[in-house]
Structure 1
């Protein structure tokens, strides 16, 4: 697999870990609030994140390869 993909995964893990590490109470409240959201809204939010991630990856890979 491409090294940049592994670096991206590592960065996501670091950023995702900062929330519960420094703000455990707020993190728990946010997760509890998310469990109350309807499935359709969570799917749209997840789809938006996937599209944004793909666009950013495409733009960066195009910029780095030129």
Structure 2
């Protein structure tokens, strides 16, 4: 259970940094997001998922 809390906390740290350091970039990205096709969003989501799983695997085995 502590690993889940750690993971959620790290996600919130990264999200918070993005909003704190580049709020105008986040706003522009949010405006462009509806213009993207579902296929591109799905590909990006799968790629992000794969990278996340890889990072978790590395963190557990190093």
Q: TM-score range by the shorter chain?
A: 0.7 to 0.9
List structure 1 segments (4+ residues) > 6 angstroms apart after TM superposition: none
The size of the alignment, in residue pairs, is: 62
Which ranges in structure 2 are unaligned for 5 or more consecutive residues?
Answer: none
Question: TM-score, normalised on structure 1?
Answer: 0.77
Provide the alpha-carbon RMSD of the alignment: 1.4
- Which residue is equivalent to 2:4? 5
CA distance in 2, matches of 1:62, 1:26: 35
Task: Give the number of the structure whose alpha-carbon radius of gyration is greater.
Answer: 1
Using the TM superposition, name which of 47-56 and 16-25 deviates more: 16-25
Which ranges in structure 1 are unaligned for 5 or more consecutive residues?
Answer: none
Question: TM-score, normalised on structure 2?
Answer: 0.81
**C-alpha displacement of 1:27:** 1.4
- Which residue is equivalent to 1:60? 59
